[in-house]
């Protein structure tokens, strides 16, 4: 943010004896950069007659690059606004408002007449028209002088330039007219522009050597050095990208535990009964595998509260179970008919009823069973440290079915 210095002119006003003879000070369009020539008023933060303090934002100025706040350096009063909000293409230095001291009475304050400035400029214009050949030669001399800088880097000041507010303020403080400044003060700014440092060096407040060093440093960085710039390497082709993708290590496959349990079920048990019983048993085994402690709970060192603190995300499932039941004997077995007596039975006098009783006794001793396969798949959540062990406990618990056949 740029800060515009608004100098207090109280020392000059002390020369006047009567308060009615006090004059307001012209506030020109500020130059917010060395190359700025014109600007616009975006928004006044104070109205005519309002007082302001040092550090207050007086207005927003629009340049060709940005919108910048202009702050007050000293206390004062906004006496009159010449350029309202939205005014554009205002030359640098042209009055946009009048300012006064905080204690000034606006009713008795005298404002400079802008008409007089125009009258003074007219004779200059007529002189230019009358002596056009002389102007051309003068311009050539000025340009030639500006093109031939001295050893210290300064050139003759450009007579057509608009001085910065900081330069104008410094000249007025030291009673130096604009004409004398353009004629006597050497310029180190671009295109023969007088900078504040040039005025300070002319007044002897800073050394010429210090000004020369600053000028040389600025001029050495005026041009962008592109000698160290290197071309960016070409982008990888599609084939190279595919090869790089293929070279990346493959993601590890998730851990899945599989188990097949063979079940020999009596023929009088239906498939629906078997499926319901297995579903209940799988649910119970899964609950126990998640709930039972992994350490020896009979040990004297076992502490259930401490163990719960060590469990990682206790409510999150450690594994997921999927299973299916496969009928290994889909074709029903052939049932023999009632036994018929053979020749030996007839000769021995054995009746058909006796043969049926013998067959029923044999069938009770050798009861037939139906064979099923229970295929179980357990997907382990490897992000949890105890998941694999609990999944293995579940499979081991489920395998106990084979012991009860």
Per-residue pLDDT tens digits for 359-399? 666 555 455 778 888 999 999 988 888 889 889 989 988 88
In a domain, 351, yes or no: yes
For position 7, what pLDDT does the model report? 37
- Asked if residue 170 and residue 280 are part of one domain, the reply reads no
Joined together, the tokens standing for residue 112 give: 């400079």
% of the chain residues with pLDDT over 90: 10
In a domain, 88, yes or no: yes
By residue range, what is the domain housing residue 39? 10-112
CA distance 31 to 163: 9
For position 41, what pLDDT does the model report? 92
Cα radius of gyration rounded to whole Å, the chain: 52
Is the pLDDT at 116 greater than 80, yes or no?
A: no
Q: What angle do CA 169, 196, 97 make, to 5 degrees?
A: 35
For position 122, what pLDDT does the model report? 39
In a domain, 245, yes or no: no
In a domain, 56, yes or no: yes
Task: Name the domain count of the chain.
Answer: 3
For position 332, what pLDDT does the model report? 56
Is the pLDDT at 350 greater than 70, yes or no?
A: no
- For the chain, the farthest-separated pair of C-alpha atoms sits apart, in whole angstroms, at 167
- Asked if residue 90 and residue 21 are part of one domain, the reply reads yes
Per-residue pLDDT tens digits for 61-102? 998 878 889 988 888 888 889 899 999 899 998 999 988 888
Kindly report the average pLDDT of the chain as a whole number.
Answer: 75
Of 5-19, 312-326, 368-382, which range is least confident?
5-19
What is the secondary structure of 252-282 as a DSSP string? PPPPEEEEEEEEEEETTS-HHHHHHHHHHHH
In a domain, 400, yes or no: yes
Domain boundary at 197, 220, 243, which? 220
pTM confidence score = 0.34
Task: Classify residue 94 by burial, with Cβ atoms within 10 Å: 0-12, 13-18, 19+.
Answer: middle
For position 401, what pLDDT does the model report? 77
In a domain, 232, yes or no: no
Per-residue pLDDT tens digits for 137-162? 444 444 444 445 565 567 888 888 88
Residue pointed to by tokens 């592109």: 226
């Amino acid at each position: 943010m740029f800060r515009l210095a608004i100098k207090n002119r109280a020392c000059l006003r002390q020369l006047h004896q009567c308060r009615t003879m006090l004059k307001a000070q012209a506030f020109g369009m500020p130059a917010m950069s060395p190359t700025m020539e014109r600007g616009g008023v975006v928004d006044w933060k104070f109205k005519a007659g309002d007082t302001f303090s040092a550090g207050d934002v007086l207005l927003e100025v629009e340049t060709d690059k940005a919108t910048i706040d202009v702050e007050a350096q000293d206390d004062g009063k906004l006496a009159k606004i010449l350029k309202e909000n939205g005014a554009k293409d205002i030359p640098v230095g042209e009055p946009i408002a009048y300012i006064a001291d905080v204690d000034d009475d606006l009713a008795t304050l005298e404002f400079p007449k802008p008409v007089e400035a125009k009258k003074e400029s007219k004779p200059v214009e007529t002189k230019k028209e009358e002596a056009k050949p002389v102007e051309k030669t003068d311009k050539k001399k000025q340009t030639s002088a500006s093109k031939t800088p001295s050893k210290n880097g300064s050139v003759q000041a450009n007579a057509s330039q608009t001085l910065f507010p900081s330069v104008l303020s410094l000249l007025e403080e030291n009673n130096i007219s604009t004409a004398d400044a353009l004629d006597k003060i050497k310029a180190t700014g671009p295109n023969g522009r007088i900078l504040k440092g040039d005025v300070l060096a002319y007044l002897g407040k800073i050394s010429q050597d210090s000004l020369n060093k600053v000028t040389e440093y600025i001029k050495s960085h005026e041009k962008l050095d592109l000698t160290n710039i290197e071309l960016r390497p070409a982008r990888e082709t599609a084939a190279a990208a595919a090869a790089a993708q293929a070279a990346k290590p493959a993601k590890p496959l998730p851990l899945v535990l599989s188990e097949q349990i063979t079940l020999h079920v009596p023929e009088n048990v239906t498939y629906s009964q078997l499926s319901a019983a297995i579903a209940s048993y799988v649910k119970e085994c899964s609950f126990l595998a998640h709930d039972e402690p992994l350490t020896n709970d009979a040990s004297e060192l076992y502490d259930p509260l401490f163990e719960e603190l060590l469990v990682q995300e206790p409510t999150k499932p450690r594994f997921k179970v999927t299973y299916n039941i496969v009928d290994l004997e889909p074709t029903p077995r052939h049932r023999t008919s009632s036994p018929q007596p053979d020749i030996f039975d007839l000769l021995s006098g054995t009746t058909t009823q006796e043969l049926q009783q013998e067959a029923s006794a044999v069938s009770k001793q050798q009861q037939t069973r139906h064979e099923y396969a229970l295929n179980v798949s357990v997907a382990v959540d490897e992000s949890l440290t105890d998941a694999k062990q609990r999944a293995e406990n579940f499979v081991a618990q489920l395998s106990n079915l084979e012991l009860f056949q």
